Amino acid sequence: MEKTSIGLAENVAGVLCYVFGWVSGLIFYLLELENKFVRFHAVQSMIVFSGLTLVIFVLTFIPFIGFLLTMLISAFGFILVIVLMVKAYQGVMYKLPWAGDQAEKWLSQQNQ
């Protein structure tokens, strides 16, 4: 595994992009300016988990069904975090269907 500009192995930095959801994604996006693997995982983390955070926030205003949906989405988010962390640790640039494509598009626009 390659080292990143912040001194971590790229797979470890990729895992850390998901630890605190979109917040850690943002931190690694701002800190890591060179490694494409880490930047991809950082952007994908920001897209996926900011979206989930927004949905959960909106659902909190719906009395009973909102609570149930929030619990379901939170469980889904937890499983998703684990899967994405395992894939990043394995060194796989695992793309989620829509978010992965958006992350690649975002990064390709940054490099032009």
For 48-92, the pLDDT digits (tens) are: 999 999 999 999 999 999 999 999 999 999 999 999 999 999 999
94 backbone φψ class: left, alpha, beta (φ>0; ψ -120 to 50): beta
Predicted confidence band at 110 (pLDDT cuts at 50, 70, 90)? confident
Distance CA 20, CA 56 (A): 16
Distance CA 85, CA 24 (A): 12
At residue 3, what are phi and psi to the nearest 5 degrees?
Answer: -85, 150
Predicted confidence band at 112 (pLDDT cuts at 50, 70, 90)? low
Model confidence pLDDT, tens digit, residues 25-43: 999 999 999 999 999 999 9
